[in-house]
Amino acid sequence: MNKPTILRLIKYLSISFLSLVIAAIVLGGGVFFYYVSKAPSLSESKLVATTSSKIYDNKNQLIADLGSERRVNAQANDIPTDLVKAIVSIEDHRFFDHRGIDTIRILGAFLRNLQSNSLQGGSTLTQQLIKLTYFSTSTSDQTISRKAQEAWLAIQLEQKATKQEILTYYINKVYMSNGNYGMQTAAQNYYGKDLNNLSLPQLALLAGMPQAPNQYDPYSHPEAAQDRRNLVLSEMKNQGYISAEQYEKAVNTPITDGLQSLKSASNYPAYMDNYLKEVINQVEEETGYNLLTTGMDVYTNVDQEAQKHLWDIYNTDEYVAYPDDELQVASTIVDVSNGKVIAQLGARHQSSNVSFGINQAVETNRDWGSTMKPITDYAPALEYGVYDSTATIVHDEPYNYPGTDTPVYNWDRGYFGNITLQYALQQSRNVPAVETLNKVGLNRAKTFLNGLGIDYPSLHYSNAISSNTTESDKKYGASSEKMAAAYAAFANGGTYYKPMYIHKVVFSDGSEKEFSNVGTRAMKETTAYMMTDMMKTVLVYGIGRGAYLPWLPQAGKTGTSNYTDEEIEKYIKNTGYVAPDEMFVGYTRKYAMAVWTGYSNRLTPLVGDGLTVAAKVYRSMMTYLSEGSNPEDWNMPDGIYRNGQFVFQNGARPTWTETTSQSSSTESSSTSAESSASLAPATSPDASTNGQNQVPNAPGANQNPAPQTPQTPQVQQQPQQ
């Protein structure tokens, strides 16, 4: 190929490439202007508007008007320079150099995302203000169209407003926790001062809060607040806004410095605080909008009368005799037909000063003990054909955690021998539970639990009788919210519904979004019925008699966590029966309720009557919910039949035939087994309601045991309270 030909080829290729570049620019520009043509109009009224979101109950009655509580706007000349420096240091280093969008920041974020395989934003402070005013923060809404509109409005705002005005809009717009909107409002209510009278560390705290105001609340989360404040100060030092001496003095200032006692900021009933927190979380999860900074109408699923009654059960002695004011209760109630959360409360004697603080009802940091047995062990065993009747013989005899020499103990350190599956669950025996999980297999049990909304980073054999996890993340383990939703699947015939606090949101532009809960099949109807039939006996003959109501068809399970021998010796020093947590999870045809009881300090033990509170709270609430409703019993589905007090799947093996493991994966490697053993409690007692030291009359070890009915007929008529 001669030189002229090569030159012509290069020329044509260059022209083609240039043409493609021009075409791409034109096309990109066309797409951009198409997107921005649909952007909302920039309006100062929206930038300075007082955000107000109205929350309604399930009868469309107004509960709360969030956003109208507290707002004192700061004027531009009232904003101290140190606050400006703190905000731009943590939010937008190049704020004073860009015109709405920061190309350098966008490219930097792009490169960091490539290097770390993560997602970091390149939004400027101006874009954040636009987002707060007009758009959703949901990850699903981070579209090219939305980002183009956001950038366009940011550029427009920079042309119309000064940097000082933009900062003022932002400072007055952000939510600052505890019902405070805007940093001037927070300054007055947290410190009793205006912004221009605050110290450097106080200003740094306020500057760092808007990204996660409840998480960085200095009242409810002082450690996280201090870490965030110190990060702001570090960025200020790195940007040259403060000296090393100023930095050292500020970071060594206690986070509580200058904080005054909070005054109640709520214009809603105190009994609604926990529920409203979950409403806020679910609105943002489902829509991407923070209702505290975006005006909207939210229609919730709360039954306000039921919520108030639950509050009264917690905070008066009219329904339950509490041993002291410090004992805590957390519970959730769901409609079993659709997963709607009708009531939820996370603590007794809650402070009225802190808004949307910790809600123990959704926390997974406490062990739910034997309430895990139905969903981790026995339901999967029936679902996967490991057992085929409630009369199946299981073994309550000396047994080690699979793959280890660590023994599994029952609460009484005794054994009943060969007993029926129903009796094992009724009397909450630990050995049959662990053996059953081994037969099911860890993988299948984990899959089954996932179908009920419960997950673990990894499942261990100790999880047969415990909800403890190796990670503290709330998405793992159990809470009252998760347990109520899981047991609801037993009540409704096997369908799992995600717990829902909201059913409709109406946005400020008049558009709306409804939330329906279709549900997913978690187990067969036969499995759900057989589990219900067994758990009925827990309330009539078993250790859940404190929750028994003779007129109400219901089922449920108790749970008790335990201390290690070391904890008892070092901290508890109590020779009697003690426990850190006592639970009850139960349900009727209409409602499922999960109740946790314990002390905020886990090392303060439940003793005596304190161990009966969970069942009594459940009984009191279910009495309220079920009275006058003509409660119905469950109907037996096709595929099973009854023989005496037991239920059998069609084609079930004779009860005298010993079942063997049908799991292809017992997963008893030394590694996983050792991990299981490390989580395994020395005992998992679960006889906390009645007769702690009485061994029931258990079936013997004969080949064909007769159905066993405890020789206490009066218990069925008059259960212990």
pLDDT reported for residue 710: 34
Name the β-bridge partners of 495: 521
Question: Of 23-32, 35-44, 292-301, where does mean pLDDT reach its minimum?
Answer: 23-32
User: For residue 143, what pLDDT is reported?
Assistant: 66
How far from each other are the two terminal CA atoms of the chain, in whole angstroms?
A: 101
Query: Taking residues 84-104, what's their average pLDDT?
Result: 88
Helical segments of 573-697, H only:
613-626, 670-679
**Average of pLDDT values for 122-129?**
85
| Side chain identity at residue 674, one-letter code | E
Helix (H) or strand (E) segment spanning residue 428: none
Burial of 417 (0-12, 13-18, 19+ CB in 10 A): middle
Strand order in the sheet with 62-66: 62-66, 53-56, 296-300, 502-507, 512-514
Report the percentage of the chain scoring pLDDT > 70. Answer: 82
User: What φ, ψ does residue 255 adopt, rounded to 5°?
Assistant: -65, -25
Give the per-residue pLDDT at 655. Answer: 64
Residue type, 657: T
For residues 6 and 584, which has the higher predicted lDDT (pLDDT)? Answer: 584
Higher pLDDT, 404 or 542: 404
Q: Which residues face 506 on adjacent strands? A: 297, 512
pLDDT at 139 over 60: no
Q: Which two tokens stand for residue 152?
A: 């366009």
Q: With the CA atoms of 312, 317, 320 and 322 taken in that order, what torsion angle do they form, in degrees rounded to the nearest 10?
A: 120
What residue type is assigned to position 12 of the chain? Y
Report d(CA 589, CA 626) in Å as an integer: 10
Distances in Å between the Cα of 655 and the Cα atoms of 128, 640, 644, 705 are 67, 15, 13, 8
Regarding beta strands 581-587 and 555-560, do their DSSP bridges make them parallel or antiparallel, or are they unpaired?
A: antiparallel
Instruction: Give the predicted TM-score (pTM) of the model.
Output: 0.74
Query: CA separation (Å) from 511 to 283, 409, 417, 504?
Result: 15, 58, 64, 11
The span from the CA of 567 to the CA of 682, in Å, is 11
Per-residue model confidence (pLDDT) at position 694: 31
pLDDT digits (tens, 9 = 90+) for 172-182: 988 888 878 89
**Mean pLDDT across 24-53:** 66
Instruction: Give the sheet arrangement for strand 555-560, strand by strand.
Output: 341-345, 328-335, 591-598, 581-587, 555-560
Residues with Cβ < 8 Å from 159, sequence gap 6 or more?
Answer: 99, 100
Active site residue 370: yes
Confidence of residue 138 (pLDDT cuts 50, 70, 90): low
Is the alpha carbon torsion for 32, 33, 36, 37 positive or negative? negative
Exposed/middle/buried for residue 513 (C-beta within 10 Å: 0-12, 13-18, 19+) = middle
| Neighbour tally for 408: CB within 10 Å | 25
- pLDDT (tens digit per residue) in 661-711: 333 333 333 333 333 333 333 333 453 333 333 333 233 222 233 333 332
For residue 107, what pLDDT is reported? 61
Instruction: Find the largest Cα–Cα distance for the chain.
Output: 110
Say how far residue 521 (Cα) sits from the centre of its chain.
22
CA atoms within 13 A on the CB side of 469: 21
Q: Which residues pair with 525 in a beta bridge?
A: none
Residues 6+ apart with CB under 8 A from 33: none
The interaxial angle of helices 480-491 and 525-540, nearest 10 deg, is: 110
Which whole number is the average pLDDT over 207-230? 93
* CB of 146 closer than 8 Å to CB of 40: no
Q: Is residue 91 among the annotated active site residues? A: yes
pLDDT for position 629: 81
3-state secondary structure of 392: coil
- Rounded distance, CA 231 to CA 359, Å? 27
Per DSSP, the three-state class of 67 is: coil
Task: Output the pLDDT for position 349.
Answer: 92
With 60 as the cut, is the pLDDT of residue 130 above it?
yes
Residues β-bridged to residue 400? 407
Give the closest residue to 83 by CA, choosing from 200, 235, 224, 251. 200
660 pLDDT above the threshold of 50: no
Q: What pLDDT, on the 0 to 100 scale, is given for residue 715?
A: 27
The identity of residue 680, as a single letter, is A
Q: What pLDDT shows up at residue 44?
A: 76
Is the pLDDT reported for residue 82 higher than 60?
Answer: yes
CA angle centred on 99, ends 98 and 105, rounded to 5°: 40
Structural tokens at position 129: 């203000």
Tokens of 208: 């760092």
The tens digit of pLDDT for each residue in 224-248 reads: 999 999 999 999 999 999 999 999 9
Who contacts 10 (Cβ-Cβ below 8 Å, separation ≥6)? Answer: none
The highest-confidence range among 164-173, 264-273, 331-340, by mean pLDDT, is 331-340
Strand 70-71 and strand 180-181: the pairing is: parallel
Angle 509-511-515 from CA coordinates, rounded to 5°:
140
- Helix, strand or coil for residue 273? helix
User: Measured between alpha carbons, how far is residue 1 from residues 11, 15, 114, 423, 667 in Å?
Assistant: 15, 20, 42, 92, 69
Looking up tokens 């499922």 gives: 592
Task: Give whole-number Cα distances, 697 to 370, 419, 434, 710, 718, in Å.
Answer: 21, 11, 22, 6, 19
**Amino acid code (one letter) for 491:** A
Q: Cα-atom radius of gyration of the chain, to the nearest Å?
A: 30
Q: Which of 112, 679, 623, 693 is nearest to 372 (CA)?
A: 679
pLDDT of the residue at 597: 98
CB 422 within 8 A of CB 537: yes
Q: Closest Cα partner for 531 from 597, 570, 600, 586?
A: 586
From the list 220, 266, 331, 370, the catalytic residue is 370
What pLDDT is stored for residue 129 in this prediction? 87
The residue type of 255 is I
**Confidence label for 659 from pLDDT (cuts 50, 70 and 90):** very low
Q: Across all residues in the chain, what is the average pLDDT?
A: 84
Distance CA 596, CA 329 (A): 6
Tell me which residue of 539, 293, 540, 533 sits closest to 389, measured CA to CA: 533
What percentage of the chain has pLDDT greater than the value 90?
A: 60
Amino acid 509 reads D
Comparing 703 with 348, the larger pLDDT belongs to 348
Question: By the 8 A CB rule, do 86 and 69 touch?
Answer: no
